[in-house]
Amino acid sequence: MAQASELAPGSKLIHPKFGVGMILSVDETYYKIYFYTTEEVKTLARDYEGFTVEEAKMPDFPILTLKDVEKAIKEALFQTTERAPIVPLGGKWMGGTVVFEPNDVSLQSKEIPMATFFHKIVMVREKLRVLEQNINNHPKLDDEDRINMQQYITRCYGSLTTFNVLFAYKEDQFKGSGN
């Protein structure tokens, strides 16, 4: 007979207070059990010894816990998310700040660490690259539409060339239609 702490979903048991129930899910320490009489789902510790196993279902594979599923989802998201490549900030800017001074002296200035500002610029560049790839691979756009949309992206790159002074290496910089 299976130990109560090794049951799989689908197992039926009898609880002295709640009556007959079926295990709906299992995690590292608890069972979620639907009890027929009260029509409620209760959470009971897997090592609880107060119920009787009526029909044991044994896992035919390792039981995944909620933590296992969360970990798998996090890993999948990490592997598929858009991450900016590591693009080095020019040495003279490291540790610096960007300061926005309003014309109105009654307003506060805004300081942003240069690394944060630079990261945002790199993310804009990466999103433009993804947009460019999506336009190039879009099944419903014809060549003329692609070219027209590409021109806007090229102009965006051109507008962002102002920030090229921040990049450590020329190959990481923005290039407009002139380059």
pLDDT, tens digit (0-9, with 9 covering 90-100), for 66-89: 777 788 887 777 666 656 567 888
Please state, in angstroms and rounded to a whole number, the distance separating the CA atoms of residues 17 and 10.
Answer: 20
Pairing mode of beta strands 52-55, 40-45: unpaired
Please state, in angstroms and rounded to a whole number, the distance separating the CA atoms of residues 42 and 84.
Answer: 45
pLDDT in tens, 89-132: 888 988 999 999 999 999 999 999 999 999 889 888 888 888 88
Average pLDDT of the segment spanning 51-69: 77
Average pLDDT of the segment spanning 44-52: 88
Q: What pLDDT is stored for residue 1 in this prediction?
A: 45
pTM (two decimals): 0.49
Q: Residue 52: is its pLDDT beyond 80? A: yes
Domains, the chain, in order of start with CATH, read: 4-61 (2.30.30), 91-172 (no CATH)
Residue 5 CB partners (closer than 8 Å, separation 6+):
46, 47
Picking from 46-50, 60-64, 168-172, which range would have the lowest pLDDT averaged per residue?
A: 60-64
Of residues 68 and 65, more confidence is placed in 68
- Average pLDDT of the chain, as a whole number: 85
Picking from 33-42, 81-90, 141-150, which range would have the lowest pLDDT averaged per residue?
A: 81-90
Please state, in angstroms and rounded to a whole number, the distance separating the CA atoms of residues 115 and 145.
Answer: 37
Cross-strand pairs, 100: 110
